[in-house]
Amino acid sequence: MTPPAGSITIAGKTVSRLGFGTMRLTGPGTWGDPDNRDTALSVLRQAVHTHGISHIDTADAYGPHTVEHLIREALYPYPDQVLIATKGGMIRPAPGQWKPLGNPFYLRACVEASLRRLNVERLELCYLHRIDPEVSRDDQIAVLHSLQDEGKIGHIGLSKVTPEDIRYVLKYRPVAAVQNVLNTTDRHDPALEMCRDHNIPYVAYRPLDAGLLAHTHGPAAPLQWLLSQGSHVAPIPSTSQPRHLEEIVASVQDGPT
């Protein structure tokens, strides 16, 4: 199956440049179960088996925990070509509320729990969801490196980071991917150029600005703009509806490869 918008290598695996973000497969406020669990499962299966999307992005904080369970139910056993990327290091006090928590013991617990929920022996790509400013950055990175050495994490990514953050981590080990906001509203991220220079995949989250750009312009123009920013850019639009997923995939079929 030809992947939408061509391919990119992330965490050692060749996957579709168009990924699928799963943040919207929950209840309101990214909290609890989706209104229709069967539809959520169907969207995941259609993304992979119908549309050829092989990069699925999630986080333990989505629900929390809801979406990792959905991914396992919908897609396990995971096809060899599919990359399931998850994140740890964010707690959810309430619907719509997010707080970084970079305590090393908590980060280790996040990884161990995601392994169980996804039913895998190794997280092929695990992002530090946020760098917690109240915890030593060294300690946060060190525990992820320890988990990598133990074989529980394959590759480490960074989310919502600056070029300085990336440079700091690169002093110790490679960064497999950077996930930051980029869209036609938020066009300027200095990490975009740095990732290009260091051959780091740049995973653009909120590529449709939480659906606002798709509602105003349709998905084609915003996604085509993202794909034109460089071959290292991989957008991960999210939706909870099969019809919207079809529109997103169709909008990039003839895009840059």
Q: Give the residue numbers annotated as catalytic, written as ranges.
A: 62
Residue owning tokens 């092929």: 124
